[in-house]
Amino acid sequence: MSEEDDEIILSELDDEELVQQMFDDLYDGLKEEIEEGVNILLERGWQPYRILTEALVGGMTIVGNDFRDGILFVPEVLLAANAMKGGMAILKPLLVETGAPRVGKMVIGTVKGDIHDIGKNLVSMMMEGAGFEVVDLGINNAVEAYLEALEKEQPDILGMSALLTTTMPYMKVVIDTLVEKGIRDDYTVLVGGAPLNEEFGKAIGADAYCRDAAVAVETAKTFMARKHNQLAAG
Amino acid sequence: MTLNDTVLTNDGLDARATGTVLLIACGALAHEILALKRINAWDHLDLTCLPAILHNHPDRIPDAVSDAVLRHRSQYDQIFVVYADCGTGGLLEKRCRELGVQMIPGPHCYSFFEGNDTFAARDEMTAFYLTDFLVRQFEAFVIKPLGLDRHPELRDMYFGHYEKLVYQAQTDDPDLTDKAKACADRLELTFERRFTGYGQLQTELAQIGTSTGA
């Protein structure tokens, strides 16, 4: 089958078809097509937040589900994430301008001694997609870096990531320091990374262990809703 | 015995039903363990290996080890698990404790080949490690599962923060060193070869012999 015969002209699709096509393009990790789709929807008057949630997050949710179910693997998820990143880069400045709703704020970073950031980057991106403001501290963060960012950014959530069995105990160092300083309860602490599990999350005093980026988003939303309810009740 | 690396990667190795102590090991250690057995005449040790590719799926290791222990324990006086933590986040250690079997201390084979204390003291967070087995099976363990054969552009996402590839050599094999160097080039990392020999693997297995009086 020749590509020419099959070529889809994105601008000729109606909105619903275009969003469906963007789901497929995200699934296939086609960054340029996603960027084109985003621009077409903007030209058609879609609000940036609507494009983000309906086209990009909607598509990445399918990718996330298929990753969880063992249908997609890490390389495909990374390609999809890269495509979404292309779309996000167009939308991000516009989201600020248009005053898109902000669900909450998160400071996130990989712990000291650890340079792995694939999972953390996925979480950052999906959290942004879900309407969170994310301050990403990058890799190899000592407790001082977390404290400084918490002080400066005043987030709702602290996220910590580790890929190594040897570095994951450092999360406890950070949490213990928060306790010592009497600020532990000021933040929801979410932890994640390949060698972690729920038991470990509980043992170190985190609020929750998040298995993957999709779970991180859902968990963060749940904690934010709880916080709002408490504030309303108080 | 002739070992096939592809079989060790995907299927593992069956026990021979000889000896009083069964070693349940990662397939990536089969060559080294059999060499030590031969050199030291450890005839009391039998070996079965789980598929080495579990290295890429640490969450599956505790159950796989558990199944193997339960399947074999009635046929041996003792079982020893030749895995370190291997990315299980402490779950393998917990499982071994529940099963009443010992395992190798340390975070992973890169650590015990060099010696756990020496490895920890290096504190090399930007080093990517390969052993003899992983050099031979580089495509199966690194390139294909990470999709770098199909999407080389993902290299930076995986290895952007790494600086060097350390080849921990268990044997002196110039061809393998050349291959390891090629692996480093492919990942765009600087290359360093460190001869470790069998390291702490040897001392740990030697203690099993002592403790059983064999």
- Give yes or no: residues A115 and A182 share one domain: yes
Structural domain includes residue A111 = yes
Q: Tell me: do A21 and A134 sit in the same domain.
A: no
Using an 8 Å CB-CB cutoff, list chain B residues near A122.
Answer: none
Task: Report residues of chain A scoring pLDDT below 70.
Answer: 1-5, 234
- Read off the pTM: 0.90
Interface test with A, best of B88, B97, B154, B155 (most A CBs within 10 A): B154
Measured distance CA(A121)–CA(A127) in Å, rounded = 10
Residues A109, A148, single domain; the answer is yes
Q: What is the model's pLDDT at position A101?
A: 80
Is A165's CB within 8 Å of B158's CB?
A: no
**Does B146 sit within 8 Å of A74, measured CB to CB?**
yes
pLDDT in tens, B158-189: 999 999 999 999 999 999 999 999 999 999 99
- For this complex, say whether ipTM is above 0.90: no
Q: Is B29 exposed, middle or buried (0-12, 13-18, 19+ CB in 10 A)?
A: buried
Q: What is the three-class DSSP state of B189?
A: coil
- Reported confidence tier of residue B141, pLDDT bands at 50, 70, 90: very high
The two counts, helices (H) then strands (E), for chain A are 11, 5
Q: What is the CATH number of the domain that holds A45?
A: 1.10.1240.10
**Tokens found for residue A85:** 């990143």
Test B89 with A78 for CB contact under 8 angstroms.
Answer: no
- Report pLDDT for A38: 98
Main-chain dihedrals φ then ψ at residue A160, nearest 5 degrees: -130, 140
- How many angstroms separate the CA atoms of B45 and B15, rounded? 10
- Say what the pLDDT of residue B174 is: 98
Contacts of B145 in chain A (CB under 8 A): 73-74
Question: How does the average pLDDT of chain B come out, rounded?
Answer: 95
Nearest chain B residue (CA) to A74: B146
Residue pair B60/B83 in contact by the 8 Å Cβ criterion: no
**Does A118 lie in the same domain as A83?**
no
Q: Minimal Cα–Cα distance from A84 to chain B, Å?
A: 15
- Show residues of chain B in contact with A115, CB under 8 Å: 125-126, 161-162
Give the end of a domain, one of A98, A124, A158: A98
Q: Which residues of A touch B148 (CB under 8 A)?
A: 75
Nearest CA in chain B to A199: B91
Task: Determine the pLDDT at residue A5.
Answer: 55
Residues from chain B contacting residue A79 (CB–CB below 8 Å)? 147, 151, 154
In this complex, do A165 and B85 lie within 8 Å of one another by their Cβ atoms? yes
Work out the minimum CA distance from B117 to partner chain A, whole angstroms: 13
Q: Say if residue A159 is in the same domain as residue A198.
A: yes
pLDDT confidence of residue A234: 64
What's the pLDDT at B214?
Answer: 36
A125 with A82, same domain: the answer is no
- Closest-approach residue (CA) in chain B for A192: B89
Domain ranges, residue A81: 10-98
Mean pLDDT of chain A: 93
CATH number at B7-110+198-211: 3.40.50
* Euclidean distance between CA atoms A39 and A42, whole angstroms: 5
Q: Is residue A65 part of a domain?
A: yes
Per-residue pLDDT tens digits for B14-24:
999 889 999 99
Write down the pLDDT at residue A156: 98
Locate the chain B residue with the closest alpha carbon to A164.
B87
Element (H, E) at A135: strand A132-136
**Overall average pLDDT of the B118-128 stretch:** 95
Average pLDDT, stretch B114-118?
96
The pLDDT of residue A85 is 93
Where is the domain boundary, A38, A70, A98? A98
